[in-house]
Amino acid sequence: MSFKYILSGLLLVLVFSCEDLEDLNENPNQPTEVGAEVLMTSAIRSTMNSMVTESFLLGNNAAQLTAKTLRSEIDVYNWNPFPTVWTSLYDGLEDVANAERLAREEEDAATEGAAVVLKSWLFSTLTDAYGDIPYTEAVSGATDGNFQPAYDAQQDIYMSANGILAELERANNLLAQGGIVQGDILLGGSAEQWRKLCNSLRLRLLMRVSNRMDVAADFADIVNNQPIIASNDDNAVLNYLENFPNDFPLLPLKQGDFDAVVMSDRSIPVLEGYRDPRLMRYARPNNILEIDTAQVDTITPVYTGAQNGAETSCSKGGSRLGLAYFDYGNHPTTDDHADGILMTYAEVQFLLAEAVLKNFISGNVEQYYRSGIQASMDYYEVDYEASGWTDFDDFYNNSGVAFANDPVQVWEQKWLALFFHGLEPYFEVRRWLYEVDNDWNQIPFLSPPCDNVNNDMLPVRFLYPGEEASLNGENYQAAVGRLEGGDDQNAKMWLVQ
């Protein structure tokens, strides 16, 4: 009898407990949906990390700022899909799209606007690299079940009513409402700083499409009526911490992998020819390895550049990259490691200089040009005296960089200032070559890499990742069918047609 009562009691407990079973299974410390702030932090960190890595592996080398000493496919123009660019940026876009949605639902205009800026930057990087890409239907699988998105035409990605330029204009209006950007590790949560980045990105992209359409009115409207990056205090750069996993992405590399990239024989002569103090930031002297670290300040530094091109027949003796980019054992080191760079005041000043030359805006070309050089110098906190100059004025007036009404000077100094700016160095060199009908002689600080396998032609695009053909075959084939020559590195996207 006692056993029956005990059993009945246990059954009653079980019945009432089952009613609350769902509540008991919810872990308050493990939410099922994170907030926009978490997604923004994740997206900024992951995509900036990716762009630092691609600066090292792709952007700097394709633009001949640096050169590969091993695995020289980039330098020799034997390109592949570079799938990490596609995968990492689309992964970041998924977080950004969800952050934008959540911020909109919460009527958080500042965070929504910043998410739109980040989204537009990522999509612009992808389309500039590959051409036609999934855009309108991209990263929507979680909400509408579409895991095979169509590819939008590059012209539409830029110029349509929901294209990236229109989206950036919408972001500017959202950010103008003020507020705090949640989860922002890039610009300190300031809506106004994101607004400056937004409008500066608009200038970058308008310059990129300026060979395809008239952008003068839009460019001038932004310069005259909207806030843009106006000093180094406005730079959109990610300040890394000193501890893994939030340290500069190259620091964990093996020494051999870091040594596979060195300074180029294109950039070293330009920097040395001007006695440019940025050389000491971008590179470490060859003879720094042969001395005791206490003697560093007593030696005359020696720098060399490697040839971009084949590993077997081209000179590969080049100076390693500077102290900010990697720590060697028994070498001098620095606590001031490099940032992840999205956009800087220097770039904006060079955009404005070129815009005056193209008659998009009025202004003094030399003033913008000079400000761009000085902004880059100030950002890197260069030591003028170590290069034999008293200050910036001395350098500018006596080094040979003073503006002499040659538009190529603007390109050259912008090229130097774009060191480690993601894929921007490559995108700009491609644009400049397009503007001079691919005549390398008109860009004297560059030349076709030795032993390249592409008839001295800089490839104009990356190939689509192989998984697109298998996982999104119909849409992939439609995009390839629009390319003259198929999925080829020389197939001209809309930007360079």
pLDDT band at 307 (very low <50, low <70, confident <90, very high): very high
Alpha-carbon distance 491 to 476, whole Å? Answer: 15
What was the pLDDT predicted at 292? Answer: 52
What was the pLDDT predicted at 28? Answer: 58
- Mean pLDDT throughout 267-287? 96
Query: Which long-range contacts does 196-199 make (Cβ < 8 Å, 24+ apart)?
Result: 196/227, 196/228, 196/229, 196/230, 196/234, 197/117, 197/229, 197/234, 197/236, 197/342, 197/343, 198/113, 198/117, 198/168, 198/171, 198/172, 199/168, 199/172, 199/226, 199/227, 199/228
Q: Is the pLDDT of residue 5 over 50?
A: no
What was the pLDDT predicted at 163? Answer: 98
Q: Is the pLDDT of residue 18 over 50?
A: no
Per residue in 105-162, pLDDT (tens digit) is: 999 999 999 999 999 999 999 999 999 999 999 987 556 778 899 999 999 999 999 9
> Other C-beta atoms within 10 Å of 367: how many?
14
User: What is the number of domains present in the chain?
Assistant: 1
Alpha-carbon distance 208 to 61, whole Å? Answer: 20
Map residue 342 onto helix, strand or coil: strand
Q: Is the pLDDT of residue 19 over 90?
A: no
189 found inside a domain = yes
Domain that holds residue 215: 37-247+340-496
Q: Is the pLDDT of residue 17 over 80?
A: no
What was the pLDDT predicted at 11? Answer: 44
Q: How far is CA 379 from CA 107, 172, 278, 313, in A?
A: 36, 26, 10, 37
30 found inside a domain = no
Query: Burial letters for 448-473: b for 16+ Cβ neighbours within 10 Å, e otherwise?
Result: bbebbeeeeebbbbbbbbeebeeebe
Map residue 263 onto helix, strand or coil: strand
- Mean pLDDT throughout 444-471? 96
8 found inside a domain = no
What was the pLDDT predicted at 32? Answer: 57
pLDDT band at 25 (very low <50, low <70, confident <90, very high): low
Q: Is the pLDDT of residue 102 over 50?
A: yes
| Average pLDDT value for the chain | 92
Of residues 392 and 11, the one with the higher pLDDT is 392
Beta bridge partners of 190: 180
14 found inside a domain = no
Least confident segment among 6-15, 149-158, 204-213, 270-279: 6-15
Q: Count of H helices and E strands in the chain? A: 22, 6
Contact between 495 and 128 under an 8 Å Cβ cutoff? The reply is yes
What was the pLDDT predicted at 34? Answer: 87
Residue among 104, 89, 176 nearest 139 (CA): 89
pLDDT band at 26 (very low <50, low <70, confident <90, very high): low
Helix, strand, coil distribution of the chain in percent, nearest 5:
55, 5, 40
Contact between 236 and 344 under an 8 Å Cβ cutoff? The reply is yes
pLDDT band at 27 (very low <50, low <70, confident <90, very high): low
Return the DSSP state at 287: G
What was the pLDDT predicted at 298? Answer: 63
What was the pLDDT predicted at 83? Answer: 94
- CATH number of 134's domain: 1.25.40.390
What was the pLDDT predicted at 92? Answer: 97
Extract the runs of DSSP E, i.e. beta strands, from 219-368.
236-238, 261-263, 340-343
Return the DSSP state at 476: H
363 CB contacts (<8 Å, ≥6 apart)? Answer: 352, 355, 356
205 Ramachandran zone, left/alpha/beta (phi>0; psi -120 to 50): alpha
With a pLDDT cut of 90, the percent of the chain lying above it is: 84
Q: Which of 13-22, 93-102, 295-304, 313-322 has the highest mean pLDDT?
A: 93-102
Per residue in 32-78, pLDDT (tens digit) is: 578 999 999 999 999 999 999 999 999 999 999 999 999 999 999 99
Residue among 85, 114, 212, 112 nearest 158 (CA): 212
304 CB contacts (<8 Å, ≥6 apart)? Answer: 263, 265, 268, 286, 317, 318, 319
Per residue in 196-223, pLDDT (tens digit) is: 999 999 999 999 999 999 999 999 999 9
Least confident segment among 95-104, 279-288, 401-410, 442-451: 279-288
258 CB contacts (<8 Å, ≥6 apart)? Answer: 250, 320, 321, 325, 326
Alpha-carbon distance 412 to 417, whole Å? Answer: 9
- Mean pLDDT throughout 342-366? 98
Alpha-carbon distance 226 to 172, whole Å? Answer: 9
Residue-wise DSSP of 41-92: HHHHHHHHHHHHHHIIIIIHHHTTSEEESSSTHHHHT-----HHHHHHHHHH
Beta bridge partners of 237: 341
What was the pLDDT predicted at 289? Answer: 61
Contact between 474 and 151 under an 8 Å Cβ cutoff? The reply is no
308 found inside a domain = no
Q: Is the pLDDT of residue 232 over 60?
A: yes
What was the pLDDT predicted at 296? Answer: 57
* Three-class DSSP labels, 226-261: CCCCCCHHHCEEECCCCCCCCCCCCCCCCHHHHCCE
332 found inside a domain = no
Q: Is the pLDDT of residue 97 over 50?
A: yes
What was the pLDDT predicted at 330? Answer: 76
- Mean pLDDT throughout 176-185? 98
pLDDT band at 311 (very low <50, low <70, confident <90, very high): confident
pLDDT band at 285 (very low <50, low <70, confident <90, very high): very high
Alpha-carbon distance 132 to 482, whole Å? Answer: 9
288 CB contacts (<8 Å, ≥6 apart)? Answer: 296, 299, 301, 331, 332
Contact between 280 and 296 under an 8 Å Cβ cutoff? The reply is no
Residue among 377, 464, 461, 365 nearest 411 (CA): 365
Alpha-carbon distance 411 to 406, whole Å? Answer: 10
453 found inside a domain = yes
pLDDT band at 24 (very low <50, low <70, confident <90, very high): very low
Q: Is the pLDDT of residue 21 over 70?
A: no
pLDDT band at 283 (very low <50, low <70, confident <90, very high): very high
What was the pLDDT predicted at 12? Answer: 44
With a pLDDT cut of 70, the percent of the chain lying above it is: 91
Q: Which helix (H) or strand (E) holds 269?
A: helix 267-273
124 found inside a domain = yes
Tokens 């997604």 appear where?
A: 39
What was the pLDDT predicted at 437? Answer: 97
Map residue 362 onto helix, strand or coil: coil
